[in-house]
């Protein structure tokens, strides 16, 4: 079985389906394209010979590969999400292979000036000699997370063709709407029946993650007062200008574009307004819950300052919990990570254990009773036209998956 060829064929097939999720949708999944891809995956999984394959009314695609050992072992699971980020166009994705990358710039689209520079993305330099896939410069690529789907199903196909590999029962799940934080809203962990799981939703080869951000969302509503501008002195409260003042008051060194590693941030994701009403929507991210609360307190203090500064306006701020750092749960099950680290080493790769500067379905699943660390896909620059994935990195991820199965099958 040519793993690399099979990975590409599957990946190319999946990214052709527009599965961009929609945070404003009232349906679940949020877009029809996700169920369209789900139907394709169900058909493929049944053709492979997987058992209990289905797509339920919520768009969850699940299946099972029965174990081939008599001794009772934990049931393991592999998961990926079907949706792509709403931050960029996901329609008519056209992949481009940049074979045997020799270093230097990768021109995605010369006419539009879409170029990958190693100076801006040094992760590229670890992929010399590998085949890099990008889109055409008009869309995102969709490696987040269709590379994960391709890796999982290619690995399962490999295991079926190699029955001498001892394996426990393996559960598979593909979820919708992960990118808008709703990926496991209706996921039934008990019914799924796995003991431990791994999401295949990481980035560069070797990266494995048992820690995510703690995440909250926030909304600031501003009610202003409109009067004729000619008589506005001491009687006008411009909600749009107040919104701008709030955002400009946030420290520059606490934004996503100025932080890295374990540094948290607040991001203003959207702002809409006119004179009488304005709304700011954003997110708060920190690995440490104490520091998360400090960020929230700081933003509240800024809002309170503006209440004093603009007495004619009404300013309300509301926070909503999104997910919490899965490290708290996964650390209670050290074997899950020890086997993963060993599986990466056995694939000839140096493990890069790092916190996710974001979240995965695994964060919420861990708190729902299914501890779920994250495994690399070989990609980077997700959510935009500069997204790329190494086909060789995808192959390495599949090798790690096989090694994990062997570890749990011992």
Active-site choice (178, 203, 210, 387)? 178
Backbone angles phi, psi at 117, to 5 degrees: -105, 125
User: For residue 67, how far is the Cα from the chain centroid?
Assistant: 29
- Beta partners for residue 315, in sequence order: 222
Report how far apart, in Å, the C-alpha atoms of 209 and of each of 45, 84, 212, 341, 382 are: 27, 21, 8, 10, 17
- Beta partners for residue 106, in sequence order: 116
**Helix boundaries (H) for 277-333:** 289-309, 327-330
Backbone angles phi, psi at 84, to 5 degrees: -115, 165
d(CA 273, CA 288): 33
Active-site choice (83, 131, 144, 203)? 83
Q: Which has the closest alpha carbon to 141: 187, 100, 94?
A: 94
Exposure string over 252-288, b if 16+ CB within 10 A, otherwise e: eebeeeebeeeebbbebeebebebeebebbbbbbbbe
Exposure string over 231-250, b if 16+ CB within 10 A, otherwise e: eeeeebbbbbbbbebbeeeb
Q: Which has the closest alpha carbon to 356: 393, 390, 395, 327?
A: 327
Task: Outline where DSSP puts E strands in 253-398.
Answer: 265-273, 277-286, 314-323, 352-353, 374-375, 379-380, 388-390
Q: Beta-carbon neighbour count of residue 407 at 10 Å?
A: 17
The dihedral through the CA atoms of 83, 86, 91, 95 has a sign that is negative
d(CA 84, CA 350): 29
Active site residue 178: yes
Q: Which residues are catalytic?
A: 83, 178
């Amino acid at each position: 079985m040519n793993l690399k060829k099979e990975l590409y064929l599957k990946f190319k097939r999946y990214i052709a389906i527009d599965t961009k999720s929609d945070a404003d949708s009232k349906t679940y999944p949020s877009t029809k394209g996700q169920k369209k891809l789900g139907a394709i995956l169900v058909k493929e999984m049944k053709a492979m010979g997987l058992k209990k394959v289905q797509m339920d009314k919520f768009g969850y695609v699940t299946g099972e590969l029965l174990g081939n050992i008599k001794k009772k072992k934990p049931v393991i699971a592999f998961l990926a999400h079907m949706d792509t980020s709403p931050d960029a166009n996901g329609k008519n994705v056209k992949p481009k292979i940049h074979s045997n990358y020799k270093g230097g710039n990768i021109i995605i689209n010369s006419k539009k000036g879409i170029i990958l520079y190693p100076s801006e993305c040094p992760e590229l330099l670890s992929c010399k000699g590998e085949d890099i896939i990008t889109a055409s410069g008009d869309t995102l690529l969709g490696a987040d997370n269709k590379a994960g789907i391709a890796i999982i199903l290619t690995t399962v196909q490999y295991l079926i063709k190699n029955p001498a590999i001892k394996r426990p029962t393996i559960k598979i799940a593909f979820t919708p709407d992960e990118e808008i934080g709703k990926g496991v809203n209706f996921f039934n962990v008990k019914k799924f029946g796995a003991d431990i799981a791994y999401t295949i939703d990481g980035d560069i080869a070797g990266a494995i993650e048992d820690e995510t951000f703690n995440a909250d969302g926030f909304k600031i509503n501003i009610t202003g007062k409109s009067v004729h501008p000619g008589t506005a002195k001491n009687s006008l409260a411009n909600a749009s200008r107040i919104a701008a003042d709030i955002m400009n008051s946030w420290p520059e060194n606490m934004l996503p574009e100025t932080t890295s590693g374990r540094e948290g941030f607040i991001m203003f994701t959207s702002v809409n307004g006119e004179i009488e009403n304005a709304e700011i929507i954003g997110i708060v991210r920190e690995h440490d819950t104490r520091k998360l609360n400090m960020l929230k307190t700081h933003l509240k203090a800024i809002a309170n300052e503006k209440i004093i500064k603009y007495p004619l306006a009404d300013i309300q701020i509301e926070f909503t919990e999104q997910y919490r750092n899965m490290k708290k749960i996964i650390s209670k099950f050290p074997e899950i990570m020890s086997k993963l680290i060993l599986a990466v080493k056995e694939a000839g790769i140096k493990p890069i254990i790092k916190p996710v500067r974001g979240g995965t379905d695994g964060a919420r699943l861990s708190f729902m009773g299914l501890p779920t660390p994250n495994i690399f896909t070989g990609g980077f620059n997700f959510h935009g036209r500069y997204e790329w994935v190494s086909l060789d990195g995808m192959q390495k991820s599949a090798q790690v998956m096989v090694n994990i199965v062997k570890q749990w099958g011992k």
